[in-house]
Amino acid sequence: MSSRPLFALLLFSFLFSLLLGCSANKRVVVLVDGERRVIETQAPTVGELLREQKIVLGDQDRVEPPDYTPIERTATIQIVRVAIKTETTRAPIEFQRLYTREENLPDGQVRVSRLGANGEAEIDYQITLEDGREVSRREIARRVLREPVNELLLIGTQGTVAPVPITGTLAYIGEGNAWLVRGSTADRRPLTTQGDLDGRVFDLSPDGKYLLFSRQADDGAHATDNVGSSSSAVSRPLSGSLNTLWVVDTVPFNAEPRRVPIENALYAQWAPDGSALIAYTRGEKTQGAPGWKAYNDLNIAAVYGMTETLQVTDTDIQTQTIRVTPTPLPSDTPPPIPTIDPNITFEPPLPPATARATYTPRPFGRAITRTVYITSTRVTTLTQTAKGPITITNRVVVPRSAPAPLSWWGWNFQWSPDAQAFAYALSNQVGLISPQSSDKTALQNFVFYNSRGDWVWMPQLAWSPDSRFVAATIHAPPNGAERAQDATGFDVWLLSRDGEFSLPLARNTGMWAFPAWSPRDAKGESKIAFGVAQNQINSERSTYALYIMDRDGSNRERIFPQIENALDGVRVVQLAWSPDVKQLIALREGDLWLYDLASKQWAPLTANGDSKLARWK
């Protein structure tokens, strides 16, 4: 065998072995920490290569491709250094511009009522950095350091509503403030100016002199420790209150509202007999919907310090000028001439009379004037609004309880005109409570309504002026295969106080009928105003027509809208009768409207778009 072929074979084997050895190495480009490294490696995977090169990954670092990826003959591997940090910055909170209608400005005029000011917030951001560059920023916490002050612009509507004369005293809430009207709507005036009335409590005393209302609680709110006791109220700080209770004298022009030491009132009402008593029920603020949890209690508070008596002593000094004329002295008067009886004989005879001396009278003195001082004292007793704090003594009528399903919402109350009974409404019952004995008597039972939400439907109540009957909205039984709690029917019923009878006055009114019983008119009769849903199947969201009927349900008359139209009507049924029963106020599209029963005409009373809760005494 020749040596040349053998040499060629050995050379080929050597070169082939060398080629195989070289083919086991892979050329890899690694991009890491801002460097570009070219590496010859035999590592099978990306992870093995990183360990071979002693490249350490942080917990957040990212490798592309992932470390389990096999390495081909050539590859590019990128290590992205990921860092996450937290940064705290401050940022402004922009204020909003709010518009509200103002009845005391000329129509169309715009005035800045309050300048806006930005607030400030402290914000924590989570920032993600990749190879030192920010790629994302996410807000993880926010703390408000200063709340923004919204700018308030008033748009004048003066002249768009004609003045309307009224009888009695009318109070209502407009733009979060209490307003008062006497004589004419042209003479309306605000009783509060802070815009913080929450509308839970808004009640005029029977004589219209005092207004009881609730305000949204602030950080300076105080609660009372006297509930359940009979001692004077002692206030203490309470955080997270629902509201605070206030009273204002409506007669003085500049009377200041005064704090009543009652917190968290869900209902409060003056005693209908005019005594200085307030009935109320309370709850507590909660984080979840609806924002409160009712105590389901009932208390009567005697209020002290509303007025004070002053005795004013007036000393009146008057002057009077008199004219004095001096008279002659007695010595200046001529002596009397003696007379002698001719029938008497004197022995010896009297000497002959001598001539009488001539007498010249002294003239009267010259008239003079003199001043006389007359002093008189008068004591006057005056009663005025007191300046000191208001205190109360409390009597518990119903202690805290859970009397019915869905009791967390609370219950409705109405004090009878004779102040001898409370009508109450629970989610499944209407009845009476005696303020003296606390005895509870059920007048009507029914199945509660399943609202499928975080609210509870409650019957609305209205007393007859003679305190013999209660008008109430009642959940009707099912009309078909539906479950009782899902039934969509609601009726207005008449319930006698003695429990002798009950009857429906109006069928299928809807859940928000809100019957309002009028006072007695000149003939001693009364009427009931109420709403009727124009969509009976969905009365929760339906508009309502307004009706008037006699106390027995007869003479039913539609007063708004005059033409039956499902698209027209009121969204919220709020009704208030005039003291003479000749007029009626209703809430329409955020404003109060006056209905005259004689002319059957409507007239607007407000034009601010944010009026509600008319109270008329």
Q: Residue 271: its pLDDT value, please?
A: 97
CA distance 34 to 171: 76
Cα–Cα distances (Å) from 421 to 220, 400, 418, 575, in that order, read: 36, 19, 8, 23
Average pLDDT of span 209-226? 69
Quick check: 18 pLDDT over 50?
A: no
Per-residue pLDDT of 233-245, as tens digits, reads 333 334 578 999 9
pLDDT at 558 over 50: yes
Least confident segment among 99-108, 187-196, 425-434: 99-108
pLDDT digits (tens, 9 = 90+) for 371-415: 666 777 776 665 667 778 999 999 999 999 988 889 999 999 999
For residue 20, the model assigns a pLDDT of 45
CB 261 within 8 A of CB 305: no
Average pLDDT, the chain: 85
Q: Is the per-residue pLDDT at 350 higher than 70?
A: no
Distance, CA of 518 to CA of 311 (rounded, Å): 41
Whether the predicted pLDDT of 2 surpasses 80: no
Mean pLDDT of 157-171: 87
Q: Worst-scoring range by mean pLDDT, 158-162, 368-372, 544-548? A: 368-372
φ, ψ (nearest 5 deg) of residue 232: -65, 150
pLDDT interval class at 495 (50, 70, 90): very high
Q: Of 102-106, 330-334, 585-589, give the range with the top mean pLDDT.
A: 585-589
Q: How far apart, in whole angstroms, are the C-alpha atoms of residue 579 and residue 522?
A: 11
Q: Please list the residues that pair with 214 across neighbouring strands.
A: 245
- Mean pLDDT of the 192-220 span: 90
CA distances from 283 to 75, 391, 424 (A): 71, 21, 16
The pLDDT-based confidence of 222 (bands split at 50, 70, 90) is very low
Average pLDDT value for residue range 513-538: 95
Q: What tokens were used for 176?
A: 């979060």
Residue tagged 């006072």 (tokens):
519
The arithmetic mean of pLDDT across residues 442-468, rounded, is 96
- Where do the CATH 3.10.20 domains begin and end in the chain? 27-80
Structure tokens belonging to residue 150? 């919204």
pLDDT given at position 370:
65
> pLDDT at residue 301 above 90?
yes
Chain centroid, CA 344 distance in Å: 113
pLDDT of residue 111: 86
Confidence label for 91 from pLDDT (cuts 50, 70 and 90): very high
3-state helix, strand, coil in the chain (%, to 5): 5, 50, 45
Chain center to CA of 592: 17
Angstrom distance (rounded) from CA 308 to CA 297: 31
Q: What percent of the chain has pLDDT over 90?
A: 56
Q: What is the DSSP string of 186-254?
A: GG-EES--S--EEEEEEEE-TTSSEEEEEEE--TT-EEES-TTSSSPP-EEE-SS-SEEEEEEESSSTT
Mean pLDDT of 479-494: 93
Least trusted range by pLDDT, from 201-210, 381-390, 416-425: 381-390
pLDDT of the residue at 384: 66
Q: Is 155 exposed, middle or buried (0-12, 13-18, 19+ CB in 10 A)?
A: middle
pLDDT above 70 coverage of the chain, percent: 80
For the domain bounded by 84-154, which CATH number is listed? 2.20.230.10
pTM: 0.68
Closest CA to 568 of 560, 576, 579: 560
Please say if the pLDDT value at position 488 is more than 90. yes
Q: What confidence score (pLDDT) does residue 352 get? A: 61
Task: Please report, for the chain, how many H helices and E strands are present, in that order.
Answer: 2, 43
Does pLDDT of 41 surpass 70? yes
pLDDT of residue 119: 94
Average pLDDT score over residue span 490-516: 96
Tell me, what's the pLDDT at 44?
A: 87
If you average pLDDT over residues 594-608, what whole number do you get?
94
Contact indicator for 63, 51 with CB cutoff of 8 Å: no
CA 43 – CA 245 distance, rounded (Å): 80
pLDDT at 75 over 90: no
pLDDT tens by residue, 310-349 = 666 677 777 667 666 666 555 555 556 666 666 666 566 6
Give mean pLDDT, residues 282-303.
Answer: 93
Average pLDDT over residues 344-358: 57
Cα-Cα-Cα-Cα dihedral sign, residues 152, 156, 161, 167: positive
C-alpha distance from residue 286 to each of 268, 296, 532, 541, 580 (Å): 20, 15, 34, 26, 43
**What's residue 382's pLDDT?**
59
HSE value, Cβ hemisphere, 13 Å, CA-based, for 164: 21
* CATH 2.20.230.10 location in the chain: 84-154
Check residue 339 and give its pLDDT.
Answer: 61
Contact 470, 444 (CB under 8 A): no
Q: Does domain 27-80 have CATH number 3.10.20?
A: yes
The per-residue pLDDT for 237 is: 34
pLDDT at 220: 44
pLDDT of amino acid 234: 32
Mean pLDDT of all residues in 189-215: 95
Pick the residue with more confidence: 316 or 54? Answer: 54
